[in-house]
Structure 1
């Protein structure tokens, strides 16, 4: 029972001791009552809990909270209370921070999902009414031990017509307070002065003038920074928080590079207190590569730019920046031990959940500046909260209090890149909830009736008539993947050598070619779980079987290994000791590790890119944290880009399939997108927008 007490304490932020005191002497009674209530629940509800991504632990946790009301509540009310708590939990698992209690919307939907009948809904309403009264008169009801007002410390909190878990309510309030303090505090541009001990330093106005006159242009068609980009740069240097939202190719990286160039001119010592970070290792690497690539492509670079190229701040993951300790499950940096950095730039901020934003804000010094970059129209974080979207929708985005800059233009596609332009056009139409190709959409979505018609250019929609045509598409994709690198079998059969200092330049160059090849192609799915052949696990299983047949035919494998040579892999959990992070992608290759003491025999190892080189780890060392990555969920692909993307739609509508998911999936591609699935399923996805219930936007207004 103590383990259950600790579980409840961890989830609602109470101490185990206080809960133990409440539950002392009632272990057997609680367990017996729980069995009575739970065993009386219909099997369909127990199944439905799984479909809502809740498990038996969540059910036990809900009962533990419900039991705090005491035994006098009565069977019907106990069961209704249990359903209500499960509803709040289900909203949290979906990514919301609260459950709105209005009759329409989330409340009715969640109760319907939990299969509550009209009688149970009526009892739940009675429970809510009694609970609100109990908040004012705690002695009148056992519900006072469960429900409270915003200034109370209870498992469930009433606030603004919504019901929160206490931990999320406290966290959302803290984040709102910290954000508001930053929003209302403005440090004027003139406050940044040239460093007195650096004679080459210039004023901020002079630095801005010079940087605006010589913008980076790598990969872009623009002749200079547009007005919104200039506004974003100035705001980033004049306030304690700036939010910059824009779709892919809108010039967010140009803004980061320009800010660093300004600081290199006003005082190089300032750059030593700049941190570049992102939620995942892959996104952090992309940020570093994009920024350094733009700096290296500057025409007629000034001396300050040349210095910056050699001294550009490194990028890192947010967990590493904040000093997360997996053993202690806490962060080294917080309000008592803040970050030394005076400017923190976070890319892919749409992936930052409420808990991580809480950690970032608490770890910043009061005078430090925070710049959040991202695309507010993309999928929000997997965990609770949609901070970037809330910031962009709040009063902070108004002209009177503007700390948000939305970039409208896109510079990703050159004039001759018609395929890239079509991808952006279709993405824009989908973002508006319209079907690409309909009258007035202005976008070109090419419809393909058969697999042989696919050109792998722009955006194409294959409407398979049956599962065999979907399999035919996977076969075509498989053949395309194999044909784009002519000596693929030779590259897979070779043994790569890693010495004490890692891979030498020759091996590094070879590894880059083969990993870059596999990173050009990615299949994206709405869900990981089985979905009529359209879940990422099902697609990966199909490719595994096909690839195994190929390797056996080529004599590159014996038996039935768990991972195959040339198989793309993805980290599913962080491993801080190995500096591998959730979302990092690599490839299985034969590697021999040589050291001064001994040489290990060659074995299949997972090879990952790292800071311009590569690292290799034995498969066994990563077991349980490694997944195949021929196909991934769209969520896992956030922060990544691929030349060619295929989106496999399920045969029936599933809840994760939303407008935001489709928009995010399409914008992962640079050259081609193939959407595979029925038009009615695509239409249903376009009609469903991902709405998260959150109070943050209202707090910031």
Structure 2
């Protein structure tokens, strides 16, 4: 009989000397005339095939010192018994001193240390052998306990990795503990409820352990939806689904008294860990506002340099800076914290180039950062275009290279850490020279990233300034929490306290561009009160199609178009349209990335690939063929490739540098401005995938000639909302085409932007009041 073991059902790979027991089902297949059996479940056993039977057999044969097969392999092969000075000969001698193998195992199981010390004639070896046995025993017990508890396979695996051999003892004392480990433990509450009713654990309904577990469950379920706080009403409703209503007040009071949760200034509830993270940001931002009040840089000199750049910009672009751009630059250069926002195409990047120009003249370090690699690259391209990136000498011979001043947020954090370890490294961050850090696409910053960045700088920089620039109408962060959007709203109401500027004049797509006009209408519906709407906005809100053009009249001209079609036809229509416009000029965008959805990026890419390769019998390499559209999903600095970079596979080549050397397989990828050869290692490091269809989130920071936005009727309007439609619109330079269910489009436009639905405890205004920086 041959046995096939499915590792998917195991929590760890088998180690030497471990025995696994499987229940099998005959699949009635013949392989080499032997029935094949398929393992359907598996668990580790401490005992072997029949330890008791084997012991009895040895004793009848007068081999009372002989260990059963499994036990012998366990003692001689398991990693826990290695390196403790208890080899085969010493174990056999210890067994003889005890009297028999059975007696030796009994002393071991009962934990009789004195007997084992006598058996090994050594305190150290006796303790080491007993400890090794107990560790293995605890490990096996923990695995069996998890298996029987009812956790899903992924949760069980994670629990054992986190808690190890102490899993059983920890979960027995508090079965609700995994809930606090985060949202990855999907069925932790249900399992805890089953375990607490067992005779071994027996936790009563009103136990503080259970009540705090319910509180944690509500907090982490909300966190999974990016909420860092929960309103009192929703908090109570969520608790009532877990515990009896009579216990809700007791649970809340218990958690407050034990500091498991706290209340925000608005009366909402939140976990203390999340409250601490938000308070770190609040205090850091408030302190920067306070420092700016105490002493600003000389404004006359700043004004003069901004006007100097204005003349430079006029020569470069043919037009001058607007007053809005000058204000953004001035606020950034004269405050330790400034907030700025504006629609796409309003000249934010040019204003940032002005900031860099002035910093160059003042010999002040300035760094420009973005969450996404493609956004970071776009900022750097604008700085290069405006000729404000300086050259630095690299040696005594006068050789030089351009400075590195643009980073992803994660990249800058890494560079700061490298600088702290070695201040003399190339590209060291000048932490002691009052550096200015400008964030672009700040709408993408989630709470954890802001906390990590500010904590690092507050600890290691004597003084630094940050400017957070973005477009509030863009989609909210993928991670939990919202910071920048709240700072924008506070700055708009209190510009004298929170330095704030807004850019409204559009440059990129020009006045009268239909895409810009529709995007502005979407923005207005999502962000202004109805009392502030004009008649056109009211009409657009009621029927967005009044501002869109039917796709049947599309001949390639600029505009926003729509096509009402059923879900079953969406992907095929998107493919035909993309072929008509050009695969390299158009981009299909969908709300979904989950492969289970019929209109996900996976489904779109599969459909496009099947149709593209049908007519051409193309060779493939690592799943890619000549002509495929691909996207980089992980930053890879050594090839100057960043998350969001797109390309076409121009060729597949096989290179051999020297005779006798291995042949190197490579993809020849044509990016917008360069050709890159990608080998297998780089293919993995860049996270290369097909990009015929990408999510709306993935498009942020990118631009395309044409975007085709899919709106299936099955779409949840709580997921596709105002900011998603706005983001999809503003990715287009020529035309945006919506295909699918137009009722979904109407409901999405009229829904609240995502960040407005996220409940947080972040309250910079309250912190400013506490520091007497803002009047009531």
TM value normalised by structure 2:
0.64
CA–CA distance in 2 between the matches of 1:572 and 1:225? Answer: 35
Asked if residue 210 in structure 1 is aligned to residue 275 in structure 2, the reply is no
Partner of 2:581: 480
Aligned to 1:302: none
Aligned CA distance change for structure 1 residues 173 and 579 (closer, same or farther; 3 Å): farther
State the distance in 2 between where 1:20 and 1:128 align.
34
In structure 2, what is the Cα distance between the partners aligned to 1:218 and 1:651? 48
Determine helix, strand or coil for the equivalent of 2:468: strand
Name the CA shift for 1:475/1:67 in 2 (closer, same or farther; >3 Å): same
Which of 696, 721, 739 is the aligned partner of 1:658? 721
Q: Matches of residues 488-637 of structure 1 in structure 2 within 5 Å?
A: 518=584, 520-529=585-594, 533-552=598-617, 556-557=618-619, 562-573=623-634, 581-592=642-653, 601=663, 603-605=665-667, 607=669, 614=676, 616-618=678-680, 621-622=683-684, 625-637=687-699
Q: SS of 1:527's equivalent?
A: coil
Q: Structure 1 residues 363 and 28, CA, compared in 2 at 3 Å: closer, same or farther?
A: closer
* Shift, 1:448, TM fit: 5.4
- Do residues 253 (structure 1) and 346 (structure 2) align? no
The answer (yes or no) to whether the contact 1:645–1:674 under 8 Å persists in 2 is yes
Q: Report the Cα distance in structure 2 between the residues aligned to 1:287 and 1:185, rounded to whole angstroms.
A: 28
1:102 aligns with 2:233: yes
Distance 1:257 1:212 in 2: 11
**Residues 460, 675 of structure 1: 8 Å contact kept:** yes
* 8 A Cα contact 2:629 2:646, kept in partner: yes
670, 695, 700: which one pairs with 2:761? 695
Cα 1:316–1:601 shift into 2, 3 Å: same
Per the alignment, in what secondary structure is the counterpart of residue 400 of structure 1? coil
**2: CA distance, partners of 1:429 / 1:218:** 33
Distance 1:410 1:532, change over 3 A: same
Residues 253-272 of structure 1: pairs in structure 2 closer than 5 A: 253-266=349-362, 269-270=363-364
User: What is the SS of the residue equivalent to 1:643?
Assistant: strand
Q: Give the 3 Å change call, closer, same or farther, for CA 544–594 of structure 1 in structure 2.
A: closer
Matched, 1:345 2:345: no
Q: Equivalents in 2 of 1:650, 1:333: separation in Å?
A: 49
What aligned pairs does 1:301-450 form with structure 2 within 5 A after superposition? 313-323=404-414, 339-341=429-431, 342-364=435-457, 365-394=461-490, 397-414=493-510, 418-422=513-517, 424-429=519-524, 431-432=526-527, 440-441=539-540, 447=548
- 1:92 is aligned to 223
Given that residues 571 and 627 in structure 1 are in contact (C-alpha distance below 8 angstroms), is that contact kept between their aligned partners in structure 2? yes
Alpha-carbon spacing, 1:430–1:528, altered in 2? closer, same or farther (3 Å): farther
Q: 1:607 to 1:617 in 2, by over 3 A?
A: farther
Cα-to-partner distance string for 1:169-210 (whole Å, 9 max, x where unaligned): 2211111111111122217887359xxxxxxxx943432332
> Partner of 2:720: helix, strand, or coil?
coil
Question: Does the residue aligned with 2:334 lie in a helix, a strand or coil?
Answer: coil
1:548-590 CA distance string (max 9 Å, x none): 21332xxx337x9722222222344456787755434344343
Cα distance, 1:681–1:619 mapped onto 2, change above 3 Å = farther
User: 2:490 touches 2:498 (CA, 8 Å); kept in 1?
Assistant: no
2:744 match: 681
Change (3 A) 1:358 1:120: closer
Q: 1:72 to 1:373 in 2, by over 3 A?
A: same
| Distance in 2, Cα, partners of 1:438 & 1:206 | 41
Distance in structure 1 (CA, Å) of the matches to 2:668 and 2:371: 22
Cα distance change on mapping 1:427 and 1:685 into 2, 3 Å: closer
| Residues in 2 aligned to 1:446 and 1:608: alpha-carbon distance in whole angstroms | 37
Q: Once the 2 structures are TM-superposed, how far is the Cα of residue 649 of structure 1 from its aligned partner?
A: 0.7
Q: How far did 1:420 drift?
A: 5.0
Give 1:671 deviation, angstroms. Answer: 1.0
Q: Is the 8 A contact 2:215 2:251 kept in 1?
A: no
CA distance in 1: counterparts of 2:596 and 2:550, whole angstroms: 22
Query: Following the alignment from structure 1 to structure 2, what is the Cα–Cα distance between the partners of residues 564 and 61?
Result: 47
Q: Deviation of residue 22 (structure 1)?
A: 11
Q: Distance in 2 between the 1:62 and 1:366 partners? A: 49
Counterpart selection for 1:129 from 249, 254, 273: 249
**Contact 2:654–2:663 (8 Å) recurs in 1:** yes
Q: 1:65 to 1:236 in 2, by over 3 A?
A: farther
* Cα drift, residue 658 of structure 1: 0.6
Q: Where does the alignment leave 5 or more consecutive residues of structure 1 unmatched?
A: 6-10, 39-53, 138-143, 149-153, 194-201, 298-308, 326-330, 483-517
Once residues 574 and 261 of structure 1 are traced to their aligned partners in structure 2, the CA distance between those partners, rounded to angstroms, is 27
Conserved in 1, the CA contact under 8 Å of 2:212 and 2:251? no
Compared CA separation, residues 29 and 278, structure 1 to 2 (3 A): closer
Q: CA deviation at 1:609?
A: 5.2
Task: Summarize the Cα distance change of 1:363–1:464 in structure 2 as closer, same or farther, 3 Å threshold.
Answer: same
The question of whether the paired residues in 2 share the 8 Å contact of 1:647 and 1:674 is answered with: yes
* Secondary structure at the counterpart of residue 405 of structure 1: strand
State the 1:408 CA deviation. Answer: 2.0
1:391 offset after TM fit, Å? 0.9
Residue aligning to 2:337: 241
CA contact (8 A) 1:253 1:287 kept: yes
What is the deviation of 1:620? 8.1
Paired position in structure 1 for 2:79: none
Distance between the aligned counterparts of 1:80 and 1:238, measured in 2? Answer: 51
- Tell me the equivalent position of 2:731: 668
1:476: Cα distance to partner? 2.2
Could you say if the C-alpha distance between residues 24 and 225 of structure 1 is closer, same or farther in structure 2, counting changes exceeding 3 Å? same
Contact 1:426 1:445 in 2 (8 A): no
TM-score normalised to structure 1 length: 0.70
> Any conservation in 2 of the 1:77–1:124 contact (CA below 8 Å)?
no
SS at match of 1:646: strand
Does the CA-based 8 Å contact 2:302-2:333 persist in structure 1? no
Corresponding residue of 1:495: none
Q: Distance in 1 between matches of 2:377 and 2:588?
A: 21
Q: Aligned equivalents of 1:324 and 1:57: distance in 2?
A: 34
Q: Specify whether residues 65 and 401 from structure 1 end up closer, same or farther in structure 2 by C-alpha distance, changes over 3 A only.
A: farther
1:28–1:135 CA distance, 2 compared to 1 (3 A) = closer
Partners of 1:652 and 1:218 lie apart in 2 by: 49
* 1:310 positional shift: 8.2
> Equivalent residue for 1:120?
241
Residues 11-57 of structure 1: CA deviation (Å, up to 9, x unaligned)? 9xxxx9x99999884545766x999xx9xxxxxxxxxxxxxxx9762
**Distance in 2 (alpha carbons) for counterparts of 1:82 and 1:94:** 19
What is the match of residue 706 of structure 2? 644
Q: Which residue of 2 aligns with 1:47?
A: none
1:177 aligns to 2:302 (yes or no)? no
Retained in 1: the 8 A contact 2:346–2:504? yes
Following the alignment from structure 1 to structure 2, what is the Cα–Cα distance between the partners of residues 601 and 451?
Answer: 51
Partner of 1:498: none
Query: 1 CA distance for matches of 2:547 and 2:492?
Result: 40
Aligned 8 A contact 2:625 2:652 in 1 = no
Q: 1:354 to 1:65 in 2, by over 3 A?
A: farther
**Post-superposition shift, 1:460?**
0.7
Partners of 2:439 and 2:727 in 1: CA distance: 19
Mapped to 2, the partners of 1:175 and 1:66 lie a distance apart of 40
Aligned residues: 577
Paired with 2:702 and 2:193, the residues of 1 have a C-alpha distance of: 41
Shift of 1:603: 3.8
Distance 1:185 1:550 in 2: 66
CA deviation after TM superposition for structure 1 residue 636, in Å: 1.0
